[in-house]
Amino acid sequence: MKFALFLGCNIPARLTQYESSSRAVLEKLSVELIDIKEFNCCGYPLRNIDFKASILAAARNLALAEKEGLNMIVLCKCGFGMLKHADHLMKEDQSLLEEINNTLKKEDLEFKGDIEISHLLSVLYHDVGLDNIKEKITRPYKDLKIATHYGCHALRPSEIVKFDDPVNPTLFDKLVALTGAESIDWEKRLDCCGAPLFGSNDDLSMDLTEKKLSNARQSGADFLCNACSYCHIQFDTVQGMINSKGSENHPLPPILYPQLLGLSLGIDGETLGLGENKIDITGIKGFLSG
Amino acid sequence: MFYDISLYICLAIFIIGLIYKISTWLSRKTTLETKDIPTSKRLSSAIKGIVLTILSVKVLTLIKVFFLDIILQRKVFNEDFFRWLTHILIYVAFMLLLLMHALDKFITAPLFADYSATLNPFLFLRDLFGALVIIGICMAIYRRFILNPPRLKTNPMDTYAIIILAIIMASGIILEGTKIGSYSIYKEMVTDYAGLEEGEEEYKALTAFWVDKFGTVAPGLKAPFKDEIIEEGKELHEMSCSSCHSRPQWAFTGYIVASLFKGAALGLDKAGVHTILWYIHFLACFIGMAYLPFSKFLHIITSPLSLLANSVMDKGESDPANIATRQALEFDACTHCGACTSRCSMGIIIEEIENVNILPSEKIQSLKGVVSKKEIGEKDFKLILDGVYLCSNCHRCTDVCPAGINLEDLWFNMREDMFQKDYPEFSLLSPLSFYRGLMRESISQEDYKRPLIQAREAIASKCDLMKTPDKVVSLTPSDREFQDSLLLSDQASTFQGCFGCQTCTNACPVVASYENPKEVLGMLPHQIMYTAGLGIRDLAFGSNMLWDCLTCYQCQEQCPQGVHVTDVLYELKNLAIKNVYKD
């Protein structure tokens, strides 16, 4: 199983533990990752500003992977959503496709649309398979309650991203559950983390984050698990900012899914970059059995 | 005489230029917090910083960086082997030429007692180094002008650098070639070192030997020669000349030129061409030196400084005065090599958004104009600001910069500095601001919030209707152009299906965050869909709802009519921004 690894901008710059933990986990599960140095911005942050520019940026990535004949694995949900969107729109709209390809031609690239774009979680669920992962789990968690955060751009618009049932998704819960942890039911599990507005309307963004976190806390979660760079930074760094402003709440530590899974696969915390998280998550090791 | 005078004049210009440059590093301001630190304080901070670093363990880092990044150019090597080879050829060989050949009086001669430029190994090495530089120059020309990788820009400074190097090298090699064939130099040499004059038998023998073996072109003498004459000439040569002269074939580049010019050698010699070339050669060197502080060759000094400084400095830890000084220096450390641009995450969008300032290699040039207080018109200033903001802060430019420039920090500081001019920057209202948000604690509250408010106000101010909420909107004169532009987009055109059921608004987590959402957000999602249907642009653009949309797609997912609510909002944002730019 071989994929072109799409990291986007945030992960190499600000969330290196997501990369290292994903690599470690995928290696353990015999998924081969190919790096394409030429990948650029996924296009997501540009959508507010210029639709075509965002599609072009996304299309270039797709064309680069296509040139190597590789399907893409994406770690970030916003990046995943954007790439899926661009893929979809260019297949729908012939004139858009021509325009984009005209530009890409200058670099000997072409979008044909015959590769798959998958999020890390879909690869684990569909390509590797729950049973195969389960087999490799050596240290399942015990009595660990996880608030599983789906992330908007992987779920919606469902007719484009086709990640899971948008109303009652289960994919991520099952992935969490196979580590032995309990994926709790909580009201706001499908809500937005607030990150899209962080930087442009911090009050609103932080308010949404805080509400979501306290809902998870009240529902009994020990940790919040996510699989997106924006969501994670929001729950980690931005939660830190919220808490330092004197919020009465104790922090709800966010953990990246490959970190959660990696520990139960017996991968050491350093490789998974546990120490890189801003809010301390090392306590999770206490829930490991064996 | 002329040589000395021109040398000293050029040396003086070089030194004055360098002092001027250093003064700009100590005075130019890139960070808001250091705006009021005087030059004298920056100088003392710099000296203190340097001394303290050298006395600390950090000196080990400096040594490592010196060898790996400065001498061996590790960063370029990791990025692109072709570019590394090009640069290593030019810089190593040119440095060796400079030390061994140009400064031979001061370096080579004192080091080697029997040094003579015309004796091996020096004779051969000079040509070898020269040839390596020429190969490097050809590779640079090939990359910039023939290979021409996407988005690599070539500016006059790049061309100047290649041209001046090419002139120095070409004049040197042709000079050598004409000298090898020159009869007048030969004659002088023979008078000086063998004491022979034209017409004497021995003179003839020596000349025959030199014509035969050393490429000299003498009037009326042509090979083949009798063996005895060559034998005699060889003896004389060994007596008077061989202590200083290796065979000129070792000077292979010059020898090739001499062979090519053989037929014309006598004429060229009479016309004194080698003298002319000599002037061209040393004047080009002197001019290159005098102009160095103002050209991209200054990077010979500044890039190593930048690499060293960046290896031991940290934001938040180092003295802010020194960070400002380092950043001012970094502008001069840029070689415009384009490594940053070739790895820029945003580079591709220049095909859609025509603004060269998106490309880091061009951005830094424009920003250099901004910090040096060059007169920049409002339009250009805004373009630069836009370019600086259209950046996903992926840090790749900084990682690959062979001069070690901390570009990401530079962009960050310059952005904040440029916001002080109060021109609205609309890209602030996008997830590109995520990084700025994460960095908010390094900016004062007031400086952080103001540009965000300005951007929203600038857009709202274009929407008269929003300013008078009580006004009755007439429904007839709808903006066809606006409606059409929405209809053009496949995804946005779905707004026509809206019948105002409010499902989107009810699903919206932003609306749900406020007790009185209309007051804060202006229009709510279903109202925006509806006004879009009516073609009332102002109302749609002026709503805070547009910029406060999370793009979580709850509305779109739930719409019973299949209206792509989120996508329409995206489209409206694009149009609103285009609309303000239009005016």
The partner residue sitting opposite A200, judged by closest CB among B348, B433, B491, is: B433
Q: What is the DSSP string of B515-562?
A: SSHHHHHSS-HHHHHHHHHHT-HHHHHH-HHHHT-----HHHHH-TT-
- If contacts are CB pairs under 8 Å, which of residues 226-265 in chain A contact chain B? 230, 233, 237-238, 241
Half-sphere exposure of B370 (CA within 13 A, CB side): 29
The number of helices, as runs of H, and strands, as runs of E, in chain B is 33, 0
A9 touches chain B (CB under 8 A): yes
CB contact under 8 A, B428 and A200: yes
Kindly state whether residues B321 and B366 are assigned to the same domain: no
CB contact under 8 A, A51 and B554: no
With a CB cutoff of 8 Å and minimum separation 6, the contacts of B161 are B295, B296, B297
What is the rounded CA–CA span in Å between residue A209 and residue A252? 11
C-alpha distance from A144 to closest chain B C-alpha (Å): 29
CA B417-B419-B423 angle, 5° bins: 145
Give the pLDDT score at B464.
Answer: 63
Residue B263 belongs to a domain:
yes
Give the pLDDT score at B114.
Answer: 85
Domain boundary among B430, B460, B490: B460
A267: pLDDT strictly greater than 80: yes
Q: With bands split at pLDDT 50, 70 and 90, how would you rate the model's confidence at A21?
A: very high
With a CB cutoff of 8 Å and minimum separation 6, the contacts of B224 are none
A13 touches chain B (CB under 8 A): yes
Give the pLDDT score at B470.
Answer: 54
Residue B422 belongs to a domain:
yes
A207 touches chain B (CB under 8 A): yes
Which amino acid is it at B503?
T
Give the pLDDT score at B579.
Answer: 82
CA B169-B173-B179 angle, 5° bins: 145
User: What is the count of structural domains for chain B?
Assistant: 4
- Domain span at residue B324? 1-9+16-27+37-56+295-333
Give the pLDDT score at B198.
Answer: 83
Give the pLDDT score at B488.
Answer: 58
The nearest alpha carbon in chain A to B148 belongs to A107
CB contact under 8 A, B434 and A45: yes
- If contacts are CB pairs under 8 Å, which of residues 516-545 in chain B contact chain A? none
The partner residue sitting opposite B557, judged by closest CB among A10, A158, A241, is: A158
Place of tokens 């903006």: B479
C-alpha distance from A190 to closest chain B C-alpha (Å): 9
For testing contact with chain A, the best of B434, B486, B559 (most A CBs within 10 A)? B434
Whole-angstrom distance between the N-terminal and C-terminal Cα of chain B?
A: 63
Give the pLDDT score at B476.
Answer: 47
CB contact at 8 A, B233 and B208: yes
| Stated length of chain A | 290
C-alpha distance from B311 to closest chain A C-alpha (Å): 18
The partner residue sitting opposite B392, judged by closest CB among A41, A192, A201, is: A41
Kindly state whether residues B507 and B541 are assigned to the same domain: yes
C-alpha distance from A145 to closest chain B C-alpha (Å): 26
CB contact under 8 A, B348 and A50: no
A82 touches chain B (CB under 8 A): no
C-alpha distance from B305 to closest chain A C-alpha (Å): 25
What is the rounded CA–CA span in Å between residue B524 and residue B530? 10
CB contact under 8 A, B394 and A60: no
What is the rounded CA–CA span in Å between residue A125 and residue A135? 14
A138 touches chain B (CB under 8 A): no
Domain of residue B502, CATH code:
1.10.1060.10
Helix (H, G, I), strand (E, B) or coil at B377: coil
Give the pLDDT score at B500.
Answer: 86
The partner residue sitting opposite A200, judged by closest CB among B353, B430, B489, is: B430
Strands (E), B90-220: none
Residue B357 belongs to a domain:
yes
Give the pLDDT score at B199.
Answer: 82
CB contact at 8 A, B504 and B526: yes
Give the pLDDT score at B113.
Answer: 86
What is the rounded CA–CA span in Å between residue A279 and residue B73? 38
Q: What average pLDDT does this structure show over A243-263? A: 90
C-alpha distance from A36 to closest chain B C-alpha (Å): 12
Q: Nearest CA to B505 among B565, B419, B445?
A: B565
Chain A neighbors of B564, CB-CB under 8 A:
157
Residue B542 belongs to a domain:
yes
Kindly state whether residues B437 and B496 are assigned to the same domain: no
Q: What average pLDDT does this structure show over A70-99? A: 96
Return the number of CB contacts < 8 Å for A and B: 167
CB contact under 8 A, A56 and B348: yes
A49 touches chain B (CB under 8 A): yes
CB contact under 8 A, A200 and B510: no
Kindly state whether residues B373 and B425 are assigned to the same domain: yes
The partner residue sitting opposite B557, judged by closest CB among A93, A157, A194, is: A157
DSSP H or E run through A182: strand A182-183
Helix (H, G, I), strand (E, B) or coil at B257: helix
C-alpha distance from A27 to closest chain B C-alpha (Å): 25
Q: Nearest CA to B573 among B429, B455, B433?
A: B429
CB contact under 8 A, B346 and A208: no
Joined together, the tokens standing for residue B522 give: 């202006």
C-alpha distance from B306 to closest chain A C-alpha (Å): 21
CB contact under 8 A, B392 and A9: yes
The partner residue sitting opposite B438, judged by closest CB among A12, A155, A237, is: A237
The partner residue sitting opposite A204, judged by closest CB among B510, B566, B574, is: B510
Chain A neighbors of B441, CB-CB under 8 A:
241
C-alpha distance from A139 to closest chain B C-alpha (Å): 35
Residue B167 belongs to a domain:
no
Longest dimension (CA), chain B: 117
* Predicted complex ipTM: 0.97
Joined together, the tokens standing for residue B220 give: 């009326």
* pLDDT > 90 fraction of chain A, expressed in percent and rounded: 97
Kindly state whether residues B207 and B304 are assigned to the same domain: no
A152 touches chain B (CB under 8 A): yes
Domain boundary among B286, B313, B333: B333
CB contact under 8 A, A49 and B513: no
The partner residue sitting opposite A49, judged by closest CB among B440, B552, B577, is: B577
Cα separations (Å) of B457 from A261, B380, B416, B451? Answer: 47, 22, 19, 10
For testing contact with chain B, the best of A197, A228, A238, A245 (most B CBs within 10 A)? A197
Three-class DSSP labels, B159-178: HHHHHHHHHHHHHHHHHHHH
Whole-angstrom distance between the N-terminal and C-terminal Cα of chain A?
A: 30
What is the rounded CA–CA span in Å between residue B157 and residue B361? 13
CB contact under 8 A, B348 and A14: no
The partner residue sitting opposite B437, judged by closest CB among A89, A152, A198, is: A198
CB contact under 8 A, B349 and A44: no
Residue B552 belongs to a domain:
yes
Give the pLDDT score at B450.
Answer: 96
Kindly state whether residues B311 and B267 are assigned to the same domain: no
Q: What is the pTM of this model?
A: 0.91
Residue B114 belongs to a domain:
no
Domain boundary among B211, B245, B278: B278
Query: What domains can be seen in chain A, in order of their start residue?
Result: 2-119 (1.20.1050.140), 135-287 (3.40.50.11810)
Mean model confidence pLDDT for chain A: 96
Kindly state whether residues B549 and B576 are assigned to the same domain: yes
CB contact at 8 A, B522 and B466: yes
For testing contact with chain B, the best of A7, A37, A48 (most B CBs within 10 A)? A48
Cα separations (Å) of B577 from A43, B353, B430, B507, B547? Answer: 17, 13, 11, 26, 11
Give the pLDDT score at B338.
Answer: 92
CB contact under 8 A, A50 and B352: yes
C-alpha distance from A111 to closest chain B C-alpha (Å): 15
B349 touches chain A (CB under 8 A): yes
Three-class DSSP labels, A236-283: HHHHHHHHHCCCCCCCCCEEEHHHHHHHHCCCCCCCCCHHHCCCCCHH
The nearest alpha carbon in chain B to A37 belongs to B343
- If contacts are CB pairs under 8 Å, which of residues 141-180 in chain B contact chain A? 150
What is the rounded CA–CA span in Å between residue B130 and residue B134? 6
Kindly state whether residues B443 and B478 are assigned to the same domain: no
Alpha carbon B424 to its chain's center: 28
Kindly state whether residues B340 and B453 are assigned to the same domain: yes
A139: pLDDT strictly greater than 90: yes
Kindly state whether residues B477 and B574 are assigned to the same domain: yes
Joined together, the tokens standing for residue B452 give: 């965000």
Sheet arrangement for strand A223-226: A182-183, A145-148, A223-226, A254-256
CB contact at 8 A, B566 and B510: no
CB contact at 8 A, A80 and A161: yes
The nearest alpha carbon in chain A to B492 belongs to A51
Question: pLDDT per position in chain B (583 positions), as tens?
Answer: 899 999 999 999 999 999 999 999 999 888 777 778 888 999 999 999 999 999 999 999 999 999 999 999 999 999 899 999 999 999 999 999 999 999 999 999 999 988 888 998 999 999 999 999 999 999 999 998 998 888 889 999 999 999 999 999 999 999 999 999 999 999 999 999 988 888 888 899 999 999 988 989 988 888 788 888 999 999 999 988 988 999 999 999 999 999 998 888 888 998 999 999 999 999 999 999 999 999 999 999 999 999 999 999 988 788 889 999 999 999 999 999 999 999 999 999 999 999 999 999 999 999 999 998 778 899 999 999 999 999 999 999 999 999 999 999 999 999 999 999 989 999 999 999 999 999 999 999 999 999 999 999 988 887 765 555 555 555 544 566 777 776 656 666 788 888 889 999 999 999 999 999 999 998 999 999 888 877 777 777 888 999 999 999 999 999 999 999 999 999 899 988 888 877 6
A51 touches chain B (CB under 8 A): yes
Residue B515 belongs to a domain:
yes
Kindly state whether residues B304 and B232 are assigned to the same domain: no
Kindly state whether residues B452 and B339 are assigned to the same domain: yes
Chain B neighbors of A230, CB-CB under 8 A:
431, 434
CB contact at 8 A, B65 and B308: yes
Give the pLDDT score at B225.
Answer: 84
CB contact at 8 A, A27 and A154: no
Burial A189-204 (b: 16+ CB within 10 A, else e): bbbbbbbbbbbbbbeb
CB contact at 8 A, A109 and A60: yes
Helix (H, G, I), strand (E, B) or coil at B93: helix
